[in-house]
Structure 1
Amino acid sequence: MKGIGIFEDRFKALKCCVMVPTYNNETTLASVLENILAYTSQIVILNDGSTDSTVSILENFNQLKVYNFKKNRGKGQVLKEGFKIAEELGYEYAVTIDSDGQHYADDLVVFLTELENRKRGDKDLLLIGDRNMGSDGVPGISSTGNDYSSYWYLVVTGFQLHDTQSGYRLYPLKVMNSINLYTWKFEFEIETIVKATWRKIEVRNVPIKVLYDEKNRVSHFRPFWDIVRITLLYMWFVLVSFFYIHPRNKYQDFKKKGFKKFWKEDILKSNETPAKKATAIAVGIFVGLSPFWGIHTFLVFVLALVLKVNKVTAFLFSNISIPPFIPVIVYLSYQIGSVVMGQGWDWSLKLQSISSVTDVFLGLGQYILGSLILAITTSILVWIVFYFLFSALRKKQFVKP
């Protein structure tokens, strides 16, 4: 077939293979492999313990690298093994394509072109086929599930993807084999992109076509249990991202730029409105002064996400509750609570006055009340000050010299 040599050379130059995981797809497997062979013979087939006629079908493709696993272990575990096998064979990248016939082999050129256009020295790429889930013919459950996954991917990484669940992907093998991956079924593909993004690998979508042939297509996705596993995985990722990944990344960015450069580039010159900038700062101040110790980082990112304001700015100003200021914040909160509860300003604050469990709870309630009032009042005042400051600076930028 004309053009085979061209694609073969491109695959070889990029040290890229096509990886086909399969499990009981006897009705579509042969045609999928024949379509791929029209573009390249650098194919690695992973038979995940199929119990149908898959083994006999693969005997007709003995010129390809075929790996038969005795027991079905799940797509994730097989891909994990496949990444190791492919790297041992000398490949640096692998394009994974499902064997149920939903993907078009001619879209392989989309992944090759993106990889070829990557400039030398750029970050590694992990590409995911974007199936345009809003188009006609896409099952509603698939579209809804993808929207759900894409939203939580945004929450835990800070990046937007239109399609997070497509199995048509290009993986950087060295990166994948260096990451600890624990899941074993369909949630594996979520785990790979989240952890790759956390490692600052460039993860993005590329447009592909998709065919949902309900007559011949065999899907092993179990809606209830697979969605449960994906949900549990995202719950874990939310905890890790809010308590470790996001704070680490923001701190690294701020430390790299320094306060002056950060303030100038990320705050003063951002395209956000004065109200949005002031809100981000106010959110940080509110959280930093609030009595929710231990979950400040989580809370500030949730509020910033809900209010759609700059998470970096909010996180930075939430650090008003650093150790040198904590005694002052606690003291002011307790005193404000005392005033509000009609007890006036207590200059003594002697521990001897706490003589019972009731006193402890009353004192705690007094502190929490005062803390919330301090947080709300201060954040409002801060918003007003910075709103007018940013408004003035914005007008100044538009004034011609």
Structure 2
Amino acid sequence: MASIEMDMASKALFKEKQCCVIIPTYNNASFLDAVINDVLSYSDDVIVVNDGSTDSTLEILSKYNKVSIISYPVNKGKGHALKTGFREAWARGYRYAITIDSDGQHYAKDLNAFLKLIDDQPNSIIIGARNLNQKNMNSKSGFANKFSNFWFKVTTGLDMPDTQSGYRLYPLEPLHNMRFFSGRYEFEVEVLVRASWKGVGISAAPIDVYYPPREERVSHFRPFKDFARISILNTVLVLLALLWYHPRRLYREYSKKSLRDIYWEAKATATSLSNFEIAAAIAFGVFMGIFPIWGYQLLVGFIIAHLLSLNKTIFFIAANISLPPMIPFIIYLSYVLGGYMMGDGSWAVDVELSISGVKGNLVQYLIGAVGLSCIAGLIAGALSYMLLVLFKRK
């Protein structure tokens, strides 16, 4: 009796949240029946997308009259199946959809864990984070997930524990107006990254997972083709992140702040940092402020600072060593140091210190600028650390 009441409560919650469950499937007949029955005990709102299966999938699906079934004869990939399911769910008036794989790895009991997070995160994709260290975990899958997590952080700045999990809750409204260009496994990477760029929240919730013994596993992942497609997608997304997303985000974040605001923000956050963390952020800021990639110093620096977990506000202040009044001195010192590094040094400058003069001796300037950025960064970091220790950071 208690179990029946819990199932009824779960189904009512699905109705209340206007949420459905989407099950994309391709040649998973050995698990599909159990997965559908498991899901139906928690929700009556189920959409199965048969992605061109050639096994007994159609025969199995013919038994389920209350399940919405979309089927097409040619396999087009998991991404296409998910997008088809999203369109169908939106057309039926659902606001959310939970996707669950049909390979038997996920438990329907975790469906309610997603629903309970909707009120606190109404505009977020919630990823079901698996325990990737448990028994029978495929070592190749573990590597692929770490690979995916790393590039997800590069493109969005967010840390996620399991970006390859197919068990997710999606808000349908923000996805409805987006157009995605991938259609197979790589879609699940693209949708996370591009949704994040559109302001959709990305979060994770722990879930249980079953990894069957190797001889029972069914996988349609093509190691060479699919990994190549994912790598190409990550390359495109990284380029878009560097050229568009990160510059726009940084501009929005700092354009509304004055230097005074940034200073006080740095002062407030410094209280939670160690002397070494503050000195490291200052050292890296000075280094990037002088490094000869004018116009891109802050952009590249912010990305690297994020990846290295350096305080970005302190980095930003230190990087302003290259403010316009300092630029002539930086160019001069870089040029002179470049001469000494090339074995023909002199403090006298025989060429005109202008853009045309620097162009004529570009190699000498670039070598010197790299050297000066390293030296100045080390000095700034060491001096900052000593002063912090000496004055005990009151």
Q: Structure 2 length as normaliser, TM-score? A: 0.88
**For structure 1, which segment, 187-196 or 94-103, has the greater mean C-alpha deviation from structure 2 after superposition?**
187-196
User: Secondary structure at the residue paired with 1:27?
Assistant: helix
User: Secondary structure at the residue paired with 2:29?
Assistant: coil
User: Secondary structure at the residue paired with 1:344?
Assistant: coil
Give the deviation of 1:72 after TM superposition. 1.1
1:288–1:317 contact (8 Å) kept in structure 2: yes
CA-based RMSD of the aligned residues comes to 2.9
Instruction: Determine the C-alpha separation between the residues in 2 that align with 1:183 and 1:319.
Output: 40
What residue in structure 1 maps to residue 238 of structure 2?
Answer: 238
Q: 1:347 to 1:74 in 2, by over 3 A?
A: same
Give the deviation of 1:383 after TM superposition. 2.3
Instruction: Determine the C-alpha separation between the residues in 1 that align with 2:79 and 2:245.
Output: 24
Q: 1:244 to 1:288 in 2, by over 3 A?
A: farther
Instruction: Note the residue ranges of structure 1 that are not aligned, 5 or more in a row.
Output: 397-401
Aligned partner letter, 1:44 = I
**For structure 1, which segment, 215-224 or 143-152, has the greater mean C-alpha deviation from structure 2 after superposition?**
215-224
Instruction: Note the residue ranges of structure 2 that are not aligned, 5 or more in a row.
Output: none
1:1-400 correspondence runs (5 A): 1-116=4-119, 118=120, 124-213=123-212, 214-270=214-270, 271-293=272-294, 296=297, 299-301=300-302, 303-304=304-305, 307-315=308-316, 317-318=318-319, 320-321=321-322, 326=327, 328-338=329-339, 341-347=343-349, 349-350=351-352, 363-388=361-386, 390-391=388-389, 395-396=393-394
Instruction: Determine the C-alpha separation between the residues in 1 that align with 2:391 and 2:16.
Output: 52
1:27–1:216 contact (8 Å) kept in structure 2: no
User: Secondary structure at the residue paired with 1:3?
Assistant: helix
Give the deviation of 1:99 after TM superposition. 0.8
Q: 1:41 to 1:307 in 2, by over 3 A?
A: closer
Instruction: Determine the C-alpha separation between the residues in 2 that align with 1:395 and 1:320.
Output: 22
What residue in structure 2 maps to residue 399 of structure 1?
Answer: none
Alignment: residue pair count: 387
Instruction: Determine the C-alpha separation between the residues in 2 that align with 1:312 and 1:84.
Output: 42
Q: Structure 1 length as normaliser, TM-score? A: 0.86
Instruction: Determine the C-alpha separation between the residues in 2 that align with 1:77 and 1:154.
Output: 25
Instruction: Determine the C-alpha separation between the residues in 2 that align with 1:321 and 1:233.
Output: 35
Instruction: Determine the C-alpha separation between the residues in 1 that align with 2:234 and 2:174.
Output: 21
Deviations 1:203-245 (CA, angstroms, capped at 9, x unpaired): 1111111112245442111222222222222222222223332
1:22–1:46 contact (8 Å) kept in structure 2: yes
Deviations 1:150-186 (CA, angstroms, capped at 9, x unpaired): 1222222222111111110000111222333211111
Q: 1:66 to 1:394 in 2, by over 3 A?
A: farther
Aligned partner letter, 2:246 = H
Instruction: Determine the C-alpha separation between the residues in 2 that align with 1:192 and 1:393.
Output: 49
User: Secondary structure at the residue paired with 1:349?
Assistant: coil
Q: 1:248 to 1:325 in 2, by over 3 A?
A: farther
Deviations 1:58-92 (CA, angstroms, capped at 9, x unpaired): 11112221111232111111211221221111111
Deviations 1:92-138 (CA, angstroms, capped at 9, x unpaired): 1100001111111111111111224x1xxx66111111111011221
Give the deviation of 1:303 after TM superposition. 4.2
1:287–1:318 contact (8 Å) kept in structure 2: yes
Instruction: Determine the C-alpha separation between the residues in 1 that align with 2:317 and 2:221.
Output: 42
Give the deviation of 1:381 after TM superposition. 3.4
Instruction: Determine the C-alpha separation between the residues in 2 that align with 1:316 and 1:197.
Output: 27
Instruction: Determine the C-alpha separation between the residues in 2 that align with 1:226 and 1:297.
Output: 35
2:305–2:315 contact (8 Å) kept in structure 1: yes
Instruction: Determine the C-alpha separation between the residues in 2 that align with 1:235 and 1:392.
Output: 46
User: Secondary structure at the residue paired with 2:116?
Assistant: helix
Give the deviation of 1:57 after TM superposition. 1.5
Deviations 1:297-316 (CA, angstroms, capped at 9, x unpaired): 56424643564412454356
Give the deviation of 1:328 after TM superposition. 4.9
**For structure 1, which segment, 274-283 or 131-140, has the greater mean C-alpha deviation from structure 2 after superposition?**
274-283
Instruction: Determine the C-alpha separation between the residues in 2 that align with 1:269 and 1:59.
Output: 60
Give the deviation of 1:324 after TM superposition. 6.9
Give the deviation of 1:194 after TM superposition. 1.5
Aligned partner letter, 2:137 = V
Q: 1:237 to 1:310 in 2, by over 3 A?
A: farther
Instruction: Determine the C-alpha separation between the residues in 1 that align with 2:300 and 2:284.
Output: 10
User: Secondary structure at the residue paired with 1:220?
Assistant: coil
2:22–2:46 contact (8 Å) kept in structure 1: yes
Aligned partner letter, 2:330 = I
Instruction: Determine the C-alpha separation between the residues in 1 that align with 2:195 and 2:389.
Output: 39
